[in-house]
Amino acid sequence: MDSKRQLQLIKRGVVDVITEEELAAKLQRDAPLRVKYGIDPTSPHVHLGHTVPIRKLRQFQELGHQAVLIIGDYTAQVGDPSEKDVSRPQLTQREVQENAQTYLDQIGKIIDISKTEVVNNAHWFSKMSFNDALRLAGRLTINRALERDAFEKRFKSDSPIYLHELMYCLMQGYDSVIVRADVELGGTDQTYNLLVGRDLQRNAEMPPQVCVTLPILVGTDGKMRMGKSLGNYIGVSEEPNEMFGKLMSIPDDVMPNYFELLTDIPKEEIDNLLAKGKNPRDAKLRLAQDIVTQFHGEGQAAAARQEFIRVFSKGALPEEIPEVAIPPKELKSGRIWIIKLISLCNLAASNSEARRLVTQGGVKIDGDPVTDPQAEVQIQSGAILQVGKRRFARLKLSS
């Protein structure tokens, strides 16, 4: 494919290209471009927000270029301060390694891992001496670092900015030097980091990478960007029914964002689905089925659709409800604290989430709402605990 046509395809769905002239020139080279995307394993889940740049990486791959995937097992221990109003907690090496174990399987649902150059940045950062780190730190001034929005806000509000946070953009930029990136992909929140990479490559007497920035996917709340820490994400490895149900829960007004960033459905078809007077539920069913198909196949997506309609449209219980044994030691005269019960059944990510769901009326036992987070509830074998719209457990009182 000629370079002009490639450029047109690459620009589709992109916020900015820094610079388009440089990318056009690189595309005219005989050799494939080295296109970098880095992801930090800060949790066990790759979510749909991550897939926006990964899908663009796949496009480069399909155009014949070399995809370079950086697993940031070292940068994850620092934590990216992008868009953070407060310092984020540092992860241990063990936590990062545990999170990273399934990343390739999850990302492999989108790109061809067998044709991808996969590297962990601990490979070079773990070998750096303190003197090496100081030399790298000498590439960035405090003045330049404070130009970053997140740091500027915290500086003005007298919130702490730690020195290790200033190193993150240098580390991400240094990755580009090591892998000799021609192009780096990232969300619009990564623009600063990507530009630092250009600076470090120039300093190393290398041609600077082209920065391709992509839109940020809104989370399931329809307000904040999708993020693991916000609990508004959809993981690519989630079960088909859970993924389908979460997609059906997004606000109607964010559907265009999801269609554009997460599917290959033609624009004409999307416009028709979202046209005035059409039922938004039909569009959402089409969206959910398309996305679940990408990660689980047509059969499981169709089954998830049928199950959603059966359970949530007709008020039925799921056909399969996991059984959870409640140890006798947890009961007092047949009663148990509702938050403890939810925790034992693994139906909420944390006690705080469980309390919120109880308070909002999202918790039921055999169809009866439990609205007091301090409640001690009476349970018996066979009772159905429902948490939110999609999580169920059949209780079993073990002897």
CATH number reported for the structural domain that contains residue 142 in this entry: 3.40.50.620
Q: What's the whole-number average pLDDT of the chain?
A: 89
Domain of 350, in residue numbers: 323-397
Q: How far is CA 239 from CA 42, 209, 324, in A?
A: 21, 38, 18
DSSP-derived 3-state class of residue 47: strand
Same domain assignment for residues 206 and 166: yes
**Which of 313, 338, 372 is a domain's end point?**
313
Which runs of E-coded beta strand occur in the chain? 16-18, 34-39, 66-71, 116-120, 183-187, 210-214, 323-326, 335-337, 363-365, 368-369, 376-378, 384-387, 391-397
Q: How many domains does the chain have?
A: 3
Residue 333 has a pLDDT of 82
Same domain assignment for residues 157 and 18: yes
Taking residue 248's Cβ as centre, other Cβ atoms within 10 Å add up to 20
233: left (phi over 0), alpha (psi -120 to 50) or beta: beta
Is residue 221 one of the residues assigned to a domain?
Answer: no
Q: How far is CA 57 from CA 28, 64, 115, 116, 310, in A?
A: 19, 11, 12, 10, 37
Same domain assignment for residues 132 and 32: yes
Query: Pairing relation of β-strands 335-337 and 391-397?
Result: unpaired
Which residues of the chain fall below pLDDT 70?
Answer: 79-90, 313-316, 399
Query: What is the rounded distance in angstroms from the CA atom of residue 17 to the CA atom of residue 3?
Result: 15
Four-point Cα dihedral 184, 181, 138, 128, nearest 10:
110
Tokens coding 374: 């301090």
Q: What is the pLDDT of residues 263-287, one digit of tens each?
A: 999 999 999 999 988 899 999 999 9
Same domain assignment for residues 158 and 289: no
**Which of 289, 313, 337 is a domain's end point?**
313
Query: What is the rounded distance in angstroms from the CA atom of residue 186 to the CA atom of residue 192?
Result: 10
Of 89, 91, 78, the C-alpha closest to 174 is 78
Q: What is the pLDDT of residues 288-314, one digit of tens each?
A: 999 999 999 999 999 999 988 887 766
**Which of 256, 282, 313 is a domain's end point?**
313
Same domain assignment for residues 79 and 209: yes
Same domain assignment for residues 254 and 341: no
pTM: 0.77
What is the residue whose two structure tokens read 């290790």? 164
Residue 89 has a pLDDT of 61
What is the residue whose two structure tokens read 């059906």? 248
Same domain assignment for residues 90 and 68: yes
What is the residue whose two structure tokens read 């459905």? 265
Residue 127 has a pLDDT of 94
CATH, residue 305: 1.10.240.10
CA of residue 140 relative to chain centroid, distance: 29
Residue 86 has a pLDDT of 45
Tokens coding 169: 């953009």
Q: What is the 3-state secondary structure (H, E, C) of 173-207?
A: HHHHHHHCCCEEEEEHHHHHHHHHHHHHHHHCCCC
Is residue 80 one of the residues assigned to a domain?
Answer: yes
CATH, residue 362: 3.10.290.10
Same domain assignment for residues 246 and 308: yes
Same domain assignment for residues 44 and 181: yes
Same domain assignment for residues 173 and 67: yes
